[in-house]
Amino acid sequence: MSIVEGLSGVLIVAGGFFFLAGTAGLLRFPDIYTRLHALTKADNLGLGLVVAGLCLRARSWAEAVTLIAIWLVVLLTGSTACYLVARFALRSGIRPWRHR
């Protein structure tokens, strides 16, 4: 296994770890706002690391640019979605969780 392949594998596994963290947060955090925070980590870092790992193995520049474009779309969509859902929840009257 060449160095590039090994590095790509490490990046993809790291991305998978952040996906796991996102799901764990989604299940265990106490309210919608903290869950959104966990979810966007999966969007940004999880997918970002997976895309970085795949870019290293890309066969052409076009392929790498496509991968990065997908990541940018998900980044933009994820952050807008997080903001919109949080505002929706706030105006529905859900109060942020306070540590007792």
Partner 1 sequence: MMPLSTLFDALLAALLVALAWGALSSRDLFRSIVLFMIFGILSAMAWARLDAPDIALAEAAIGAGLTGILLLDTLGALGERNRPGAGPVRETDAFAGWGRWLTLRNAVLGASVFGAGVAAAAAASGLTDGEGLAAAVAESIGEAGVSNPVTAVLLNFRGYDTLLEVGVMLLAVIGVLSLRATAKAPASPAGPLDPQLSAYGRLMAPVMVLVAGYLLYAGAHAPGGAFQAGAVLGGALVLLGLCGFTPPGRLQAANRGLLVLGFCVFLLAAVALTAAGYSLLEYPAGRAGLWIFWIEAALGLSTAFLLAELVSSRVPGGRP
Partner 2 sequence: MFFEAMALFLMLNLAAGLVRVARGPTAADRMTVAQLFGTTGVAVLLLLAEGWGRPALRDTALVLALLSGLAVVAFVRFLPGAGSDPGGEGS
Instruction: Report the alpha-carbon distance of residue 3 to residue 97 in Å, rounded.
Output: 46
Give the x-and-dash track for 17-56 against partner 2 (CB under 8 A). Answer: --xx-xx--xx----x--xx--x--xx--xx--xx--x--
The per-residue DSSP string of 25-86 comes to HHHHSSSHHHHHHHHHHIIIIIHHHHHHHHHHT-SSHHHHHHHHHHHHHHHHHHHHHHHHHH
Q: Which does 78 bind (CB under 5 to 8 A by kind): partner 2, partner 1, none?
A: partner 2
CB of 75 to partner 1, least distance (A): 11
| Cα–Cα distance list, 44 to 2, 7, 93 (Å) | 27, 19, 28
Give the x-and-dash track for 34-73 against partner 1 (CB under 8 A). Answer: ---------------------------------------x
Report if residue 80 touches partner 1, rule: CB under 8 A.
Answer: yes
Report if residue 11 touches partner 2, rule: CB under 8 A.
Answer: no
